[in-house]
């Protein structure tokens, strides 16, 4: 078995196969594993290729981290659901069973009027009654700004903006609660984002157990958290993981598949292609039988994520390990001192498209520095900053998106990756679930 790509999808597929006693070889083009969720060293400081967080409902990711030797309670700082837009809005879930914890959190949220809190709580109750599945519009019923454009017949997905308007979520509720949630979860602005995919995330995070809505921030970097441990696990189980060994071509034969890699050719019975969508399209394009998968990949659009890391003097800290800002450039701020013991290191995350893309990296860092001074009185000058701009961080999670299936027209060539078909937006859990699905399907 061969796996192309050592990101979370590829390493999950490989670890799952290894756990079933199947010999596996992973080819990763970069020097280190992890892909978009990898550790990055800068100025002798361990950073990530963008600050990430996991949710308690990321069951497959958490299971696999433990399979390869991690320990969830030791590896993560676990924060109970709390959305804090500094000075503007605050929602904190009490220690009650789900989904009661959320309803009480909505009814006691700071920064909303009583009527706004009631509207938000009623909306959540309606979503629960609908089992977090969008209803089909009745004949003759018009959804506001309904876009049923690209979906299949009977499809009822709409944008998040349309959903919020449909259920009376006004401008304040939208800008303080739903918009920050949607951008954080889907990395897509609400006027472009799929309501159904947002509901899938809300269903899994908010509606089952209270721990599902916990936010998990790792004490270690994202390469060490899973891919590096997975590589050791795969090798202990007889497999191989090659880094700096990119695959340049995939050549299907009658009964097997040959990969042309940086170190020569390798032939396998099955291949899982677990690269980013653009590389997958490049590798699959020469294979005529895969034209449908390639066309679907080509149809995906992308959204950026910017992370601004700032190293302040060690005494600088935020009031909370993670908190948001309302209508500022910095959407979410993370205090790496409180999360990972990296005193004075702050990270500002700016997800999805926006005017920040018109600024130079120095200008953007200066905006974040100004916001930290204005919001928290941090007057110290950072020793250094580092802007990591991932222009194609995730696919744009639009309504009715036709994402390529893990199964292709070649039964022994499968696709894994956060962009492949699934309930989730482009997330670690989506990537991991796709890898596990490929592995299970091959081993079956
Ligand atoms: C800045 C940022 C912040 C994010 N924040 C979050 C978050 O908070 N929570 C969350 O759940 N998700 C988050 N995501 C999304 C998450 O990182 C991705 O969904 C996930 O990492 C995708 O994994 P993947 O394995 O599908 O793809 P990738 O990570 O892209 O992995 C593909 C791998 O294939 C390798 N490769 C490419 N070409 C070749 C080749 N020719 N031969 C061999 N190997 C090759 C690449 O080097 C890479 O290692 C974030 C993403 C970014 C960029």
Block residue for tokens 């899994």: 204
Burial class of residue 175 in the structure, from the number of CB atoms within 10 Å of its CB (0-12 exposed, 13-18 middle, 19+ buried): middle
Q: Measure 276 CA to ligand 1 centroid, in angstroms.
A: 7
Cβ atoms 397, 353 nearer than 8 A:
no
Helix, strand, or coil here: 345? strand
Look over the chain and give the mean of its residue pLDDT values, rounded to a whole number: 94
**Together in a domain, 53 and 197:** no
**Together in a domain, 118 and 239:** no
Residue 118: both structure tokens together: 């009631």
Instruction: Look at residues 213, 232, 254 and tell me which one is the last residue of a structural domain.
Output: 213
Atom 46 (ligand 1): residue with closest C-alpha? 35
CA atoms within 13 A on the CB side of 411: 4
pLDDT of residue 151: 38
> CATH number of the domain that 417 lies in?
3.50.50.60
**Together in a domain, 124 and 96:** yes
Ligand 1 neighbourhood includes 418 CB (under 6 angstroms) = yes
Atom 8 (ligand 1): residue with closest C-alpha? 52
The percentage of residues in the chain with a pLDDT greater than 70, rounded to a whole number, is: 96
Q: What is the pLDDT of residues 75-117, one digit of tens each?
A: 999 999 889 999 999 999 888 888 888 899 999 999 999 999 9
Ligand 1 neighbourhood includes 318 CB (under 6 angstroms) = no
pLDDT of residue 97: 86
**Together in a domain, 432 and 379:** no
**Together in a domain, 103 and 186:** yes
pLDDT of residue 96: 86
Block residue for tokens 């989904």: 99
pLDDT of residue 236: 97
Ligand 1 neighbourhood includes 431 CB (under 6 angstroms) = yes
Show the domain range for 16.
Answer: 2-77+218-300+398-443
Q: What is the pLDDT of residues 170-209, one digit of tens each?
A: 999 999 999 999 999 999 999 999 999 999 999 999 888 8
Q: Measure 37 CA to ligand 1 centroid, in angstroms.
A: 5
pLDDT of residue 93: 87
pLDDT of residue 153: 40
Ligand 1 neighbourhood includes 433 CB (under 6 angstroms) = no
Task: Looking at the CA of residue 431, tell me the nearest atom of ligand 1.
Answer: 26
Q: Establish whether the linkage from the previous residue to 337 is cis, with ω within 30° of 0.
A: no
Ligand 1 neighbourhood includes 7 CB (under 6 angstroms) = yes
Task: Looking at the CA of residue 58, tell me the nearest atom of ligand 1.
Answer: 11
Cα separation of 164 and 195, whole Å? Answer: 9
**Together in a domain, 195 and 245:** no
Ligand 1 neighbourhood includes 344 CB (under 6 angstroms) = no
**Together in a domain, 14 and 52:** yes
pTM score, whole prediction: 0.95
**Together in a domain, 24 and 58:** yes
Q: Measure 9 CA to ligand 1 centroid, in angstroms.
A: 8
> CATH number of the domain that 364 lies in?
3.90.660.20
Cα separation of 326 and 352, whole Å? Answer: 15
Block residue for tokens 């990969």: 259
Is the pLDDT score of 144 beyond 70? no
**Together in a domain, 108 and 153:** yes
Ligand 1 neighbourhood includes 415 CB (under 6 angstroms) = no
Cβ atoms 102, 204 nearer than 8 A:
no
Ligand 1 neighbourhood includes 348 CB (under 6 angstroms) = no
Is the pLDDT score of 157 beyond 50? yes
Ligand 1 neighbourhood includes 432 CB (under 6 angstroms) = no
Cβ atoms 394, 52 nearer than 8 A:
no
Q: What is the pLDDT of residues 206-259, one digit of tens each?
A: 888 889 999 999 999 999 999 999 999 999 999 999 999 999 999 999 999 999
Cα separation of 46 and 39, whole Å? Answer: 7
Ligand 1 neighbourhood includes 218 CB (under 6 angstroms) = no
The percentage of residues in the chain with a pLDDT greater than 90, rounded to a whole number, is: 91
**Together in a domain, 178 and 107:** yes
Using pLDDT thresholds of 50, 70 and 90, give the confidence band for residue 141.
low
Residue 113: both structure tokens together: 């009027």
**Together in a domain, 295 and 411:** yes
Helix (H) or strand (E) holding 93: none
Using pLDDT thresholds of 50, 70 and 90, give the confidence band for residue 147.
very low
Task: Looking at the CA of residue 248, tell me the nearest atom of ligand 1.
Answer: 41
Mean per-residue pLDDT for 138-166?
63
Is the pLDDT score of 138 beyond 80? no
**Together in a domain, 165 and 114:** yes
Ligand 1 neighbourhood includes 214 CB (under 6 angstroms) = no
Higher-confidence residue of 304 and 101: namely 304
Using pLDDT thresholds of 50, 70 and 90, give the confidence band for residue 302.
very high
Helix, strand, or coil here: 383? coil
Using pLDDT thresholds of 50, 70 and 90, give the confidence band for residue 155.
low
pLDDT of residue 154: 46
Residue 139: both structure tokens together: 């004949």
Around Cβ 114, how many Cβ atoms within 10 Å?
Answer: 8
Q: Measure 393 CA to ligand 1 centroid, in angstroms.
A: 8
Domain count, the chain: 3
Task: Looking at the CA of residue 428, tell me the nearest atom of ligand 1.
Answer: 11
> Phi/psi at 421 (nearest 5 deg)?
-55, 140
Mean per-residue pLDDT for 248-272?
97
């Amino acid at each position: 078995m061969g796996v192309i790509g050592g990101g979370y999808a590829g390493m999950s597929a490989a670890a799952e196969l290894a756990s079933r006693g199947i010999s596996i070889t992973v080819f990763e083009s970069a020097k280190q594993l992890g892909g978009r969720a990898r550790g990055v060293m800068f100025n002798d400081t361990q950073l990530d290729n963008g600050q990430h967080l996991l949710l308690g409902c990321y069951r497959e990711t958490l299971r696999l981290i433990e399979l390869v030797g991690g320990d969830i309670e030791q590896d993560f700082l676990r924060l109970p659901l709390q959305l804090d837009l500094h000075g503007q809005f605050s929602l904190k879930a009490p220690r009650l069973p789900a989904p009661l914890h959320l309803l009480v959190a909505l009814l006691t949220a700071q920064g909303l009027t009583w009527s706004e809190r009631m509207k938000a709580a009623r909306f959540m109750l309606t979503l629960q009654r609908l089992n977090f599945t969008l209803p089909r519009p009745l004949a003759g019923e018009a959804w506001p700004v309904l876009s049923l454009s690209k979906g299949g017949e009977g499809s009822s997905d709409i944008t998040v903006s349309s959903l919020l308007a449909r259920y009376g979520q006004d401008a304040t509720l939208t800008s303080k609660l739903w918009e920050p949630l949607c951008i954080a979860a889907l990395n897509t602005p609400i006027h472009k984002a799929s309501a159904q995919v947002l509901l899938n995330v809300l269903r899994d995070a908010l509606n089952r157990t209270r721990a599902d809505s916990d936010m998990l921030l790792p004490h270690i970097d994202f390469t060490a958290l899973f891919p590096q441990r997975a590589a050791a696990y795969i090798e202990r189980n007889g497999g191989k993981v090659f880094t700096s060994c990119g695959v340049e071509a995939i050549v299907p034969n009658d009964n097997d598949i040959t990969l042309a890699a940086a170190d020569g050719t390798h032939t396998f019975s099955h291949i899982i292609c677990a690269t980013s969508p653009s590389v997958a399209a490049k590798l699959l394009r020469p294979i005529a039988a895969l034209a449908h998968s390639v066309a679907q990949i080509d149809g995906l659009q992308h959204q950026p994520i910017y992370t601004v890391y700032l190293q302040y003097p060690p005494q600088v800290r935020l009031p909370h390990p993670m908190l948001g800002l309302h209508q500022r450039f910095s959407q979410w701020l993370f205090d790496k001192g409180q999360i990972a013991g990296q005193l004075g290191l702050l990270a500002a995350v700016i997800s999805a498209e926006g005017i920040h893309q018109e600024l130079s990296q120095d200008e953007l860092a200066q905006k974040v520095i100004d916001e930290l001074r204005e919001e928290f009185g941090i007057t110290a000058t950072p020793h250094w900053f580092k802007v990591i701009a991932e222009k194609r961080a995730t696919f744009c999670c639009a309504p009715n998106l036709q994402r390529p299936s893990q199964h292709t027209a070649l039964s022994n060539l499968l696709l894994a990756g956060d962009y492949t078909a699934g309930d989730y937006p482009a997330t670690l859990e989506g990537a991991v679930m796709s890898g596990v699905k490929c592995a299970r399907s091959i081993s079956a």
